């Protein structure tokens, strides 16, 4: 009899290992997918990129039709966002909220099979830099979207939340235990948190240790990371060795003080950029994101909330058309470059490493550079570079950035090429710089350098593929396998008679 039991145990473990090996486990890894790029990857390729790298949750900043359709039946849970500039209309009209929910939630759920779990009403609307532009309209917009979800019969399955920047709370003592909501929006925050909690939704917070370092030159660098090398900050019986834990627990203290000790929390954005600032590079980004992934794989929370929240890495892919008002680093948050190539290695856990995007097509292998006989003293050079960088992304040329150490001629070549590529290598786009530039088929990049002379994606020749979730036949086979595997497990363990 013991041999039979041993066999049952072994067979049960074997079957479950087969299911897990088929990537049907849930590991709670989320990402943000931004779409502000001059040459975006096709949505189908991006969805496959997420699947290949184990991201089973995604946060979108708007209900982009291409992205939403590609996510249909993909197995990826979706948080779909509403941009801040739509809040006023939604706050002032229940009907507008109902139409938005119908078009962007009900439609994709029923017709496209998109697994929408959350609606993100606005994005960091209470940032001080907005000067109260969205302060009075965010809560009414949230209420109207929630009412629209309920009217559509989705109130139980789709939850409305508001992604908030960590500056909505503070600590007068400088310690996490002193946390409370910001004085100027305290009552509003209490109302919003109560409303979210009453409707069974999570509170969504964005935390950026990089910005702590960016804003304060005296900030202890090691405290921004998870590897325990920083001098601890002692708060009563708790010692904090990184700013993420301290920041998160400051929020927990604020929630506890205002009667919301148990509200679930989502980390809507957290990550580290790789360019555009001396502290934004691949080495530090890898250090931060690997530390974060290790914690996710260990299911380790913070001292005041040991349970790990859902976390959405910011971001999946670089976006070369984002506003750089906050800093040049804004275009370089991606774990992947704009074309889905890998920036740096990451151990995702369970023996998985990053996998690059597949099926990407590029423009011709040619570059626009400064002509060898062009004179650096040419009076048109400065204006030509300025023109190029007005219409293309030159943030990598900034101080302390990946191309910040180029000489004058290489600097001009980088600017000319970025313009040429951004203009899709269009005829005449390299020749417009007052005879200062030429087209070359010799890569002007530097070996063993992080400075990249790009060739853009050919957005007209992307490898188009069916929805990457699987074909209908493949999905049926996969579902059938899971069903019979579970049945066999139950039979073997004696759970079915």
Does 286 share its domain with 431?
no
Annotated catalytic residue within 62, 124, 330, 454: 124
Does 209 share its domain with 258?
yes
**What is the pLDDT at residue 31?**
98
Does 225 share its domain with 107?
yes
Cα separation values, 489 from 11, 194, 195, 485, 497, Å: 8, 43, 43, 6, 13
Q: In the chain, how many domains are there?
A: 2
Does 403 share its domain with 282?
no
The two three-digit tokens of residue 163, written as one number: 């992604």
Does 13 share its domain with 160?
yes
Q: Is residue 480 part of a domain?
A: no
Which letter does DSSP use for residue 137 in this model? T
Does 300 share its domain with 329?
yes
Annotation says 269 is catalytic: yes
**What is the pLDDT at residue 446?**
72
Q: Is 254 exposed, middle or buried (0-12, 13-18, 19+ CB in 10 A)?
A: buried
Q: Is residue 451 part of a domain?
A: no
Q: Is residue 131 part of a domain?
A: yes
Q: Per-residue pLDDT tens, the chain, 497 aa: give them.
A: 444 334 333 333 333 333 333 333 334 689 999 999 999 999 999 999 999 999 999 999 999 999 999 999 999 999 999 999 999 999 999 999 999 999 999 999 999 999 999 999 999 999 999 999 999 999 999 999 999 999 999 999 999 999 999 999 999 999 999 999 999 999 999 999 999 999 999 999 999 999 999 999 999 999 999 999 999 999 999 999 999 999 999 999 999 999 999 999 999 999 999 999 999 999 999 999 999 999 999 999 999 999 999 999 999 999 999 999 999 999 999 999 999 999 999 999 988 999 999 999 999 999 999 999 999 999 999 999 999 999 999 999 999 999 999 999 999 999 999 999 999 999 999 999 999 999 999 999 876 678 999 999 999 875 444 343 433 333 333 333 333 343 333 333 444 44
Annotation says 124 is catalytic: yes
Does 394 share its domain with 255?
no
Does 374 share its domain with 274?
no
In 62-208, which residue ranges form alpha helices assigned H by DSSP? Answer: 65-71, 87-92, 94-101, 107-111, 138-151, 186-198
Angle at 254 between CA 249 and CA 257, to 5 degrees: 125
Does 81 share its domain with 155?
yes
**What is the pLDDT at residue 351?**
87
User: What are the contacts of 391-395 at 24+ separation with CB within 8 A?
Assistant: 391/419, 391/422, 391/423, 392/38, 392/320, 392/418, 392/419, 392/421, 392/422, 392/423, 393/38, 393/320, 393/321, 393/331, 393/418, 393/422, 394/418, 395/275, 395/276, 395/324, 395/328, 395/329, 395/331, 395/332
User: What are the contacts of 356-359 at 24+ separation with CB within 8 A?
Assistant: 356/49, 357/41, 357/45, 357/46, 357/48, 357/49, 358/45, 358/48, 358/49, 358/52, 358/463, 359/45, 359/48, 359/462, 359/463, 359/465
DSSP string, 157-181: TSEEE-EEEGGGEEETTSSGGGEEE
User: Which residues contact residue 138 at a Cβ distance below 8 angstroms, ignoring those fewer than 6 apart?
Assistant: 87, 91, 121, 122, 125, 126, 162, 192
**Of 293, 323, 353, which residue sits at a domain end?**
353
Q: Is residue 497 part of a domain?
A: no
Range of the domain at 170: 2-353
**Of 287, 320, 353, which residue sits at a domain end?**
353
> Nearest CA to 346 among 273, 288, 427?
288
Q: Is residue 321 part of a domain?
A: yes
Q: Is residue 457 part of a domain?
A: no
The two three-digit tokens of residue 269, written as one number: 């954005």
What CATH number is associated with residue 16? 3.20.20.80
Does 113 share its domain with 195?
yes
Q: Is residue 477 part of a domain?
A: no
**What is the pLDDT at residue 188?**
98
Q: How far apart are CA 7 and CA 24, in angstroms?
A: 24
Annotated catalytic residue within 269, 319, 330, 454: 269
Q: Is residue 274 part of a domain?
A: yes
Does 37 share its domain with 134?
yes
Does 139 share its domain with 206?
yes
Q: How far apart are CA 330 and CA 137, in angstroms?
A: 26
**Of 389, 407, 440, which residue sits at a domain end?**
440
């Amino acid at each position: 009899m013991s041999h039979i039991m041993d066999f049952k145990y072994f067979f049960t473990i074997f079957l479950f290992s087969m299911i897990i090996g088929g990537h049907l486990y849930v590991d709670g890894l989320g990402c943000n997918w931004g779409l502000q790029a001059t040459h975006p990857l096709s949505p189908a390729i991006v969805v496959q990129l997420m699947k290949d790298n184990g991201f089973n949750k995604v946060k979108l900043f708007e209900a982009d039709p291409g992205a939403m359709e590609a996510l249909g039946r993909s197995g990826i849970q979706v948080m779909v966002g509403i941009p801040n500039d739509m809040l006023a209309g939604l706050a002032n009209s229940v009907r507008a909220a109902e139409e938005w929910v119908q078009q962007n939630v009900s439609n994709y759920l029923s017709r496209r099979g998109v697994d929408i779990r959350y609606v993100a009403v606005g994005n960091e609307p209470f940032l001080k830099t907005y000067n109260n532009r969205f302060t009075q309209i965010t809560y009414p917009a949230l209420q109207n979207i929630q009412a629209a979800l309920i009217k559509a019969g989705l109130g139980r399955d789709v939850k409305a939340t508001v992604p908030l920047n960590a500056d909505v709370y503070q600590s007068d003592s400088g310690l996490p235990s002193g946390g409370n909501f910001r004085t100027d929006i305290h009552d509003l925050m209490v109302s919003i948190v109560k409303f979210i909690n009453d409707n069974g939704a999570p509170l969504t917070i964005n935390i950026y240790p990089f910005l702590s370092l960016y804003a304060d030159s005296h900030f202890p660098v090691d405290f921004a990371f998870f590897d325990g090398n920083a001098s601890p900050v002692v708060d009563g019986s708790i010692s904090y060795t990184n700013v993420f834990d301290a920041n998160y627990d400051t929020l927990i203290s604020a929630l506890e003080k205002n009667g919301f000790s148990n509200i679930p929390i989502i980390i809507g954005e957290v990550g580290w950029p790789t360019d555009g600032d001396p502290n934004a590079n691949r080495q530090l980004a890898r250090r931060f994101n690997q530390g974060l992934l290790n914690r996710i794989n260990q299911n380790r929370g913070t001292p005041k909330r040991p349970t790990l929240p859902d976390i959405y890495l910011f971001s999946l892919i670089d976006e070369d058309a984002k506003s750089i008002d906050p800093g040049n680093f804004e275009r370089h948050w991606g774990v992947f470059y704009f074309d889905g190539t890998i920036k740096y290695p990451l151990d995702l856990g369970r023996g998985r490493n990053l996998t690059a995007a597949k099926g990407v097509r590029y423009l011709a292998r040619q570059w626009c550079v400064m002509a060898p006989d062009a004179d650096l003293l040419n009076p048109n050079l400065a204006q030509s570079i300025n023109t190029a960088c007005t219409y293309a992304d030159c943030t990598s040329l900034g101080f302390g950035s990946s191309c910040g150490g180029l000489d004058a001629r290489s600097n001009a070549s980088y600017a000319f090429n970025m313009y040429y590529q951004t203009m899709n290598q269009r005829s005449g786009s390299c020749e417009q710089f007052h005879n200062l530039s030429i087209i070359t088929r010799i890569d002007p990049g530097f070996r063993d350098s992080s400075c990249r002379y790009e060739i853009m994606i050919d957005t007209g020749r992307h490898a188009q593929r069916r929805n990457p979730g699987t074909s209908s036949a493949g999905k049926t086979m996969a579902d059938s396998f899971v069903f019979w595997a579970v049945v066999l497990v139950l039979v073997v363990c004696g759970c079915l008679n």
